[in-house]
Structure 1
Amino acid sequence: GALNPHRVADALRAAGRPVGDATVLAVYEQLRRDIVGAGPLEPLLRLPDVTDVLVNGPGPVRIDRGSGLERTDVVLGSEDACRRLAQRLVASGGRRLDDAAPFADVRLPDGTRCHAVLTPLAQPGTAISLRVPRRGGFTLEELHAAHALTEEGLEIVQQVVAARLAFLVSGGTGTGKTTLLAAMLGAVDPAERIVVVEDAAELRPTHPQVVGLEARQANLEGAGAVALRDLVRQALRMRPDRLVVGEVRDAAVVDLMAAMNTGHEGGSGTLHANSAGDVPARVEALALTAGLGREAAHSQLASALDLVLHVVRSRASGVRRLGEIAVLERDAGGLVRTVPAVRFAPDGQLASGPGSRRLLGLL
């Protein structure tokens, strides 16, 4: 039957152990963690501000609270313990993890994303990566208070949302792309309908009219997969005022650009890129996977996208912030390139770039 405190109390009595409320609850909580929860990782998942919990095989577990990785006192003592924990977590997300299927990416019942890879693929041992969903998104004002946006940056970003411009938030891993996009969507007029398409539900914008569509991996028989680009096409039939692709990382970029080019204003998404200047080449490479040639990809991009907002993370402080806003223009050869409009220095100083006049015109 189901695990509950009454059953724990009965079992303790049967074993001749003293039964007080505190003892029963402590044993129940330990059993719950070990049977259905994240076991020894659960206290770490509950820490305030934790975004990631990482297991690199046996040894100390590491966490990220927004300022880089830190070692914790939680230790997994053996490879067997790592493997069993990974298998239980993945099973709670409805998938299998074993030698025949040695890696998996699932969402746990509480919304945490879990990625696991078994050894010997992972070295020095089974690797577990947990991405913790924020309990309610940041507002743009909160990002300003946290120094992710300067005063001028806050004003510009609010105007970008109000003007219904099409934009991508670019940045490297862990720079806060999703956080900024979610905050911007939270500033959208409550009367507008937002349809969010994602590989894994992470955006969770605080807005009264959000519909989320989530891609699905194939099952063990190789059937049942639902691709991101299929969902983008479905989203277009759902009367979105704004269409959002959480992370643009495959051929879905073609469908997103097509949507932006057919009257769907305010389209947006995030894109992994190391600089704003890298965005056109990244989009071109992704479009190529959908069979779209270079010239066609740049034509679509030029007419689809208004801005790139590039976020960065300080190596020294770990602070994530908006570093640059760039506009797009075509060169003499017809290829799209980004032109810096505004740059924000680490000390908050604003520097206008050659694209600043174009940005003012868009806003």
Structure 2
Amino acid sequence: MSADLIERVQRRLVRDGAAPTSTALATAIRAESAGLLSDAELLRLIRLLQRELVGSGPLSELLADPATTDVVVNGPDDVRVDRGHGWEATDIRFPDDAAVARLARRLATAAGRRLDDACPWVDARLADGSRLHAVLAPVAATGTSVSLRVLRPVRHDLTTLAATGTLPGVTREVLAGIVAARLAFLVSGGTGSGKTTLLAALLAALPPDERVVTVEDAEELRPPHPHLVRLVARPANVEGAGAVVLRDLVRQALRMRPDRIVVGEVRGLEVVDLLAALNTGHDGGAGTVHANTAADVPARIEALAALGGVGRSAVHAQLAGAVQIVLHMTRGAAGRELVEIAVLQRGSDGLVSAVPAVRRGVPVARGAAVLATVLADRGVGVPW
């Protein structure tokens, strides 16, 4: 079987929106084959294509490991896994880059997405909830690159996170106070630092009579809350139509009578709508944002808002009214940790800055006093 036939069958399945069942494969093979095929030859091709188009092939064992969080293929001879303690090399090898490309296309097809020379990268969600990112060579100069993030159906609450060391010192009690006071917050940190895990645990701690609407670019948040509505963005199909972007969903969430609006990851123009939403009486909203430190969050929000044409003074005025708290996560050798809780304050120059209130579970004098005042203003006691 030629690689060209495999690629043509993959494209046809994506175009038709068909799963790689025996019937769909038989139809695609007949349509893409140059001549007539005997029943025996057709059956042989179907079996070969099922091996090519179904499952994650040599990566299956790694993905099945409950400790695995990420698997990456950097090239035919470089497959690595992260089991929570950094990248580890594996002994898995592919015959050549074409085999890696076939795996990438197979996974993209399973997600209903296109991956070929005309569209050499894909960012998609697989049926089991895992996130796929792949880039074909020669755009990936070192060879076809595949990245898989495994999303386990594990639900963490604040008690569990405190027991595992993610919430040191008085951190857990401070978080309970932030939830009770309905303070709006942003969870910041790098990729894989545990932002979504912490956010889900905080949402699980919300009162059960509150209506929570979450908006995400890729479905990750599944907190065990009894009154939850989840909105997920949708990419365009292979014809380039049907896209539903995060910014539109934030606007729709406002019409759904939410008690709290949560944006899974703020990374574009939707920050403008989120800030506007949190300035319209929706207390206790939340989101996550990539940032190096809590102190960098105001500048990060400013940069994202600038993409939407919002000026510096306007975005800082919006931010001051919309968000009160920043929770910063890091990931080190000891694991994921909420290293800082900061209070956002607007200075005399009109700009918002993050004032540290708790570092590694220990109150920091100036910021702790500010946080105590904010909590007291909403009738919540100080946890230290």
Distance change in 2, residues 1:32/1:350 (3 Å): farther
Task: Assess if the C-alpha contact under 8 Å between 2:298 and 2:354 holds in 1.
Answer: yes
- Per the normalisation by structure 1, the TM-score is 0.88
Residues 137-161 of structure 1, C-alpha deviations (whole Å, 9 max, x = no match)? 2111111111111241111112211
**Aligned counterparts of 2:365 and 2:70: Cα–Cα separation in 1:** 35
- Please state if 1:218 is matched with 2:230: no
Task: Assess if the C-alpha contact under 8 Å between 1:136 and 1:206 holds in 2.
Answer: no
Deviation at 1:35, TM superposition (A): 3.8
Residues 268-312 of structure 1, C-alpha deviations (whole Å, 9 max, x = no match)? 000100011111111111111111111100000001111001111
Task: Assess if the C-alpha contact under 8 Å between 1:33 and 1:40 holds in 2.
Answer: no
**Aligned counterparts of 1:266 and 1:57: Cα–Cα separation in 2:** 45
Deviation at 1:33, TM superposition (A): 6.7
Match of 1:281 in 2: 299
- Please state if 1:155 is matched with 2:173: yes
Match of 2:164 in 1: 146
Match of 1:164 in 2: 182
Instruction: Give secondary structure in 1 for the equivalent of 2:141.
Output: coil
Amino acid at match of 1:285: A
Match of 2:89 in 1: 71
Residues 173-226 of structure 1, C-alpha deviations (whole Å, 9 max, x = no match)? 221111111111111112212111011011222222221111122233332221
Deviation at 1:318, TM superposition (A): 4.8
Instruction: Give secondary structure in 2 for the equivalent of 1:354.
Output: helix
Question: Which of 336, 361, 379 is residue 320 of structure 1 equivalent to?
Answer: 336
Tell me, which stretches of 5 or more residues in structure 1 are unaligned? 4-13, 15-29
- Please state if 1:188 is matched with 2:227: no
- Per the normalisation by structure 2, the TM-score is 0.83
Residues 14-55 of structure 1, C-alpha deviations (whole Å, 9 max, x = no match)? 9xxxxxxxxxxxxxxx99775421111111111012111111
Amino acid at match of 1:183: A
- Please state if 1:36 is matched with 2:54: yes
Amino acid at match of 1:165: L
- Please state if 1:340 is matched with 2:340: no
Match of 2:223 in 1: 205
Deviation at 1:73, TM superposition (A): 2.5
Match of 1:56 in 2: 74
Amino acid at match of 2:195: K
**Aligned counterparts of 1:49 and 1:31: Cα–Cα separation in 2:** 31
Amino acid at match of 2:110: S
Task: Assess if the C-alpha contact under 8 Å between 1:343 and 1:353 holds in 2.
Answer: no
Match of 2:381 in 1: none
Deviation at 1:263, TM superposition (A): 0.6
Deviation at 1:362, TM superposition (A): 2.4
Amino acid at match of 1:319: G
**Aligned counterparts of 2:252 and 2:86: Cα–Cα separation in 1:** 38
Question: Which of 368, 379, 384 is residue 356 of structure 1 equivalent to?
Answer: 368
Tell me, which stretches of 5 or more residues in structure 2 are unaligned? 1-19, 23-39, 41-47, 376-384
Amino acid at match of 2:218: A
**Aligned counterparts of 1:175 and 1:95: Cα–Cα separation in 2:** 28
Distance change in 2, residues 1:223/1:144 (3 Å): same
Residues 244-276 of structure 1, C-alpha deviations (whole Å, 9 max, x = no match)? 000000111111111111110110000100011
- Please state if 1:265 is matched with 2:283: yes
Please identify, of 192-201 and 85-94, the stretch whose mean Cα deviation from structure 2 is larger.
192-201
Question: Which of 290, 304, 308 is residue 290 of structure 1 equivalent to?
Answer: 308
Instruction: Give secondary structure in 2 for the equivalent of 1:271.
Output: strand
**Aligned counterparts of 2:241 and 2:53: Cα–Cα separation in 1:** 30
- Please state if 1:237 is matched with 2:249: no
Question: Which of 108, 111, 116 is residue 90 of structure 1 equivalent to?
Answer: 108
Instruction: Give secondary structure in 1 for the equivalent of 2:80.
Output: strand
Residues 56-114 of structure 1, C-alpha deviations (whole Å, 9 max, x = no match)? 11114211111111112322231011000000000100011100010011111111111
Deviation at 1:124, TM superposition (A): 1.4
**Aligned counterparts of 2:249 and 2:196: Cα–Cα separation in 1:** 19
**Aligned counterparts of 2:243 and 2:149: Cα–Cα separation in 1:** 23
Task: Assess if the C-alpha contact under 8 Å between 1:168 and 1:309 holds in 2.
Answer: yes
- Please state if 1:121 is matched with 2:107: no
Please identify, of 293-302 and 222-231, the stretch whose mean Cα deviation from structure 2 is larger.
222-231
**Aligned counterparts of 1:172 and 1:108: Cα–Cα separation in 2:** 23
